[in-house]
């Protein structure tokens, strides 16, 4: 597969803001079969070229882990759909993505008093696992169905007032054959291109968010 190269920018002029923002986070993209295939699919599609889709490869943007919070918040502010493209690492997210979440989804911006910047948006998790689907079972070595590891994601969406969409997950990424990868990439591109005209969205209610009191966080010291 050819090397995937997507232009990334740290400043997002309001007039050029994308409707869909893809937050791609893979710490070893050069070795990834799934993430590289999906990013390649995005690069050759019309969404990126037209400006409808903004792909933000976190490990390319922030190799030093110093995140431009203002730029990331600006990218999300005008978007209607947030896509997280990530491998599942230790039943959770890659380290840079967790740091990005900690810093970008700030109290008073993403949640809490005045924190309504993400309210009303959709959030779609696109993930891959190394273990096969059968391993995510009470009889498998991961002991739980895969959905048991998703509550932190779902509650993050709820806390920030985003509507949680059914995730797209490819299990057994290390051993998936080319046909399975092609089909996964096809579904990914088709779903992304047809959003928000997904039939199942008609049954999903908007998320109102959670009320977090102002005193949930200590006041910042002054002087």
pLDDT for 9 equals 42
Domain borders along the chain are 14-216
Between 202 and 137, residue with greater pLDDT: 137
**Tokens coding 75:** 């990218």
Among 74-78, 121-125, 143-147, 216-220, where is mean pLDDT lowest? 216-220
pLDDT for 216 equals 82
Distance from chain centroid for Cα 7: 18
Between 211 and 57, residue with greater pLDDT: 57
Q: What is the pTM of this model?
A: 0.88
Give the three-class secondary structure for 4: coil
**Tokens coding 163:** 């509507």
**Band of the pLDDT at 208, cuts 50, 70, 90?**
confident
**Band of the pLDDT at 167, cuts 50, 70, 90?**
very high
pLDDT for 219 equals 63
Among 26-40, 75-89, 103-117, where is mean pLDDT lowest? 26-40
What is the β-pairing status of strands 163-164 and 168-170?
A: unpaired
Residue 123 has pLDDT above 90, yes or no: yes
Bridge partners for 127 per DSSP: 86, 169
Q: How far apart are CA 108 and CA 215, in angstroms?
A: 12
**CATH C-level class of 14-216:** alpha beta
């Amino acid at each position: 597969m050819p090397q995937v190269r997507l232009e990334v920018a740290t400043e997002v002029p309001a007039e050029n803001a994308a409707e869909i923002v893809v937050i791609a986070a893979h710490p070893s993209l050069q070795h990834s079969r799934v993430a590289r295939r999906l990013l390649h699919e995005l690069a050759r599609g019309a969404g990126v070229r037209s400006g409808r889709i903004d792909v933000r490869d976190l490990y390319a943007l922030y190799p030093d882990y110093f995140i431009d919070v203002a730029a990331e918040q600006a990218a999300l502010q005008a978007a209607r759909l947030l896509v997280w493209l990530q491998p599942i690492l230790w039943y959770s997210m890659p380290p840079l993505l967790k740091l990005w979440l900690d810093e970008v989804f700030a109290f008073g911006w993403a949640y809490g008093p005045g924190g309504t910047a993400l309210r009303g948006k959709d959030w779609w998790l696109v993930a891959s696992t190394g273990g096969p689907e059968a391993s995510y079972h009470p009889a498998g070595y991961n002991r739980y169905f895969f959905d048991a590891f998703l509550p932190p994601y779902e509650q993050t969406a709820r806390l920030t007032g985003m509507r949680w969409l059914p995730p797209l997950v490819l299990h057994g990424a290390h051993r998936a054959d080319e046909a399975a990868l092609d089909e996964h990439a096809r579904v990914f591109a088709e779903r992304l291109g047809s959003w928000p005209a997904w039939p199942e969205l008609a049954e999903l209610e908007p998320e109102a968010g959670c009320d977090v009191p102002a005193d949930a966080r200590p006041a910042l010291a002054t002087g």
